[in-house]
Amino acid sequence: MSDDQKTQAGASYAAAGVDIEAGDRAVELLAPLAKRATRPEVRGGLGGFAGLFALGEYDKPLLAASSDGVGTKLAVAQAMDKHDTIGRDLVAMCVDDLVVCGAEPLFMQDYIAIGKVIPEKVAEIVKGIADGCEEAGCALLGGETAEHPGVMGENDYDVSATSVGVVEEAKLLGPDKVRPGDVVIAMESSGLHSNGYSLARKVLLQDAGLPLDQEVPEFGRTLGEEMLEPTRIYAKDCLDLAAECDVHTFAHITGGGLAANVARVIPEGLVAELHRSTWVPGPIFTKIQELGGVAQEEMEKTFNMGVGMVAIVSEEDADRALAMLAARHMKAWRLGVVRSGEGGATLQGEHPAEG
């Protein structure tokens, strides 16, 4: 037998690094997770070529879609070998974009690219996604796990997802509804969420050399636990608020920071005046700024600084909205007001001193 014949005889998908049996075992572990994160409108089961979802009865439905990933927060999860929370970040980054226009998240489909399929690791990742879907009230309709040997390291993976929601055309929220005198309400973030991790990792891990397992008194836990705190999912809070109060729009505070994201929902001729004096950013932001010598402007365009979602409501319903959020155990406060002017959104004043 020639060398070429030996190569052909010995070649296989498994020899190339793709373990189909491991993929099948992973699917077996994922099935009960997807079954748990469901809705009555789901049709069929896991394993088909496409997920099916019955849209239901609407007068003039508008479908909304959002796709996102988690970014370099994954590097922290991989360094800690903890994979059961990153999926919650993935859900939050997608569904919290949907609710900005008033859309109810219906379902999500995920994509996991991984160097080597270890069924238990994939199941941990998907468990976090299923947990997030349950919290957001949407179904995990399906997904894809792709093994990429030779392209990714065995312990490396990346995740992304697309979520789909629906809103009645008559209930669509957006900049066109914003008026002078509207109140800007801030909802507290759970920490860094899923933005700015390239800078956070450089300052805390690379430059300062802090170990992830080090207890940090200001955090009341380890650095790794603080950095892996899942992104808050605001979907149900926002939808309930919109159903009961005169909400004009929301702004999800992600990459670009508070002012830039609020500006996206402020129409021309108006400006949202946001006041730093209304809140104190959490200790993770202070730690990054102090250790890295990061300028305030750079902090505010990179991180959420403690505000994860913003609601813009009529002045008449502002107190009611705050009371509703308090009843849902969501820390919220008056962040500012919308006035005539130019600039979209501005941050004014200084944060109060801590303590």
What are the DSSP calls for 101-146, one per residue?
GTPEEEEEEEEEEESS--HHHHHHHHHHHHHHHHHHT-EEEEEEEE
CA distance 261 to 310: 9
pLDDT at residue 4, rounded to an integer: 47
Average pLDDT of span 26-45 = 71
Single pTM value for the model: 0.90
Q: Indicate if the pLDDT at residue 225 is higher than 90.
A: yes
| CATH superfamily of domain region 173-346 | PurM-like C-terminal domain (3.90.650.10)
CA distances from 61 to 56, 168, 239, 244 (A): 10, 5, 16, 20
Sequence-distant (≥ 6) Cβ neighbours of residue 90 within 8 angstroms:
68, 69, 70, 110, 128, 129, 132, 159, 160, 161
Name the residue with higher pLDDT: 80 or 26.
Answer: 80
Establish whether domains 18-42+60-169 and 173-346 are of one fold: no
Q: Are 180 and 107 in contact (CB under 8 A)?
A: no
Domain map (residue ranges) of the chain: 18-42+60-169, 173-346
Average pLDDT of span 64-71 = 96
Distance of CA 200 to the CA centre of its chain: 17
Query: Both ends of the chain: CA-CA distance in Å?
Result: 79
Q: Indicate if the pLDDT at residue 218 is higher than 70.
A: yes
DSSP-assigned letter for residue 59: S
Average pLDDT of span 103-108 = 96
Fold (topology level) of 18-42+60-169 = 60s Ribosomal Protein L30; Chain: A; (3.30.1330)
Kindly state the tokens that stand for 230. 């899942």
Concatenated DSSP letters of 232-270: P--HHHHHHHHHHS-EEEEEE--TTHHHHHHHTTS-TTE
Report the mean per-residue pLDDT for the chain. 91
pLDDT at residue 19, rounded to an integer: 60
pLDDT at residue 101, rounded to an integer: 96
pLDDT at residue 271, rounded to an integer: 97
